[in-house]
Amino acid sequence: MPYFRTALLLAVMTALFVAVGWVIGGAQGMAVAFLLALGMNLFALWNSDRMVLSLYRAREVDARSAPEFVGIVGELAQRAGLPMPRTYIVENPQPNAFATGRSPSKAAVCATTGLLQLLDRRELAGVIAHELSHVEHRDTLIMTVTATLAGAIGMLANFAFFMGRGRDNPLGVLGTIVVMVVAPLAATLVQLGISRSREYEADRRGAEICGQPLWLASALGKLGMASGRIPNAVAEANPATAPLFIVNPLHMKAVDNLFATHPSLENRIARLQEMAQRMGNDASDIDPAPRGAAGPWAAAAMATPDEPRRSGRGSVPSAGSVPPGSRGPWG
């Protein structure tokens, strides 16, 4: 049912694009807009990852340049049964993350430097597991296509104001103005409808992948406080990409209403806490890896509660003892 609804919403967004073309040039404009929408969907299908990564000037990293980050991604991808995605870092102080790519085999996971500095290893694992859930369900492709179409509808609607006054315009000047306002708004609502439904599912599946819902809940709490204070200039200039991120990168209050890019963090955290209770987890559980698996958590999983749990760059405190605003092993 979620996939049917997503397909339906994508069809609605394509229809909006075609409708704006009809306003600009009647039947001929509608045909041209349909071909453009088809071409843009195909272009986004094959180039979505490069488009977004280039926009944010993401830098690809590997096990040598970012061993702990890449190790966490690899361990969680293995747990999820996914191919190892490419890993990227964006030089941006706002703590955030996103995934992109048309399929699991072509996926990329990207974190900002602010995220790596703010979160501890367990919280980072929760965030990465969330992003891998998007990869698993191919939300990365869906959200990039909708971001492309939503941005194009806005530009086409503005174009309609200048080109939609000719004799082929079936609605006249007043109708053109209405379309300029309604079409981008409707496209935004469709995009947000897709995004918000996928975020709840990614939280749930991400918690299953890492085995600890409270890790992601703790991360979301920190990200919510920090992202509202620290701007993301690229996202502000390209708001259609905002739903790609794990938390809203734009400087507006995210609440559960029609215009929110994400579900409210309070609701997401509450759902994760309820999930943790059902699973019988608490913040002291520390083993996200399969038994016997080697990985970035192996030393921590072997430590006793009274022993310091060490990473390559210092101790990793238990989830219950992480002070608000503390910096992780990358800080």
328, 121 Cβ separation under 8 angstroms: yes
User: Is residue 307 among the annotated active site residues?
Assistant: no
Token pair of 30 as six digits: 């509608």
User: Hey, what's the torsion of the CAs at 279, 109, 184, 250, to 10 degrees?
Assistant: 80
Q: Classify each residue of 203-241 as buried b or exposed e, where b means 16 or more C-beta atoms within 10 Å of its C-beta.
A: bbbbbbbbbbbbbbbbbbbbbbebbbebebeebeebbbb
From the list 131, 136, 208, 236, the catalytic residue is 131
Annotated binding site: 130, 134, 199
Contact 67, 121 (CB under 8 A): no
Give binding residues for Zn(2+) as ranges. Answer: 130, 134, 199
Could you tell me which of 61, 69, 118, 96 has the C-alpha nearest to residue 247? 96
3-state helix, strand, coil in the chain (%, to 5): 60, 5, 30
- Give the Å distances, CA to CA, from 81 to 116, 143, 201: 24, 22, 18
For the record, the structure tokens of 21 come out as: 């073309």
Nearest to 246 by CA among 132, 148, 141, 106: 132
82 touches 99 (CB < 8 A): no
Nearest to 263 by CA among 243, 280, 283, 277: 243
Active site residues: 131
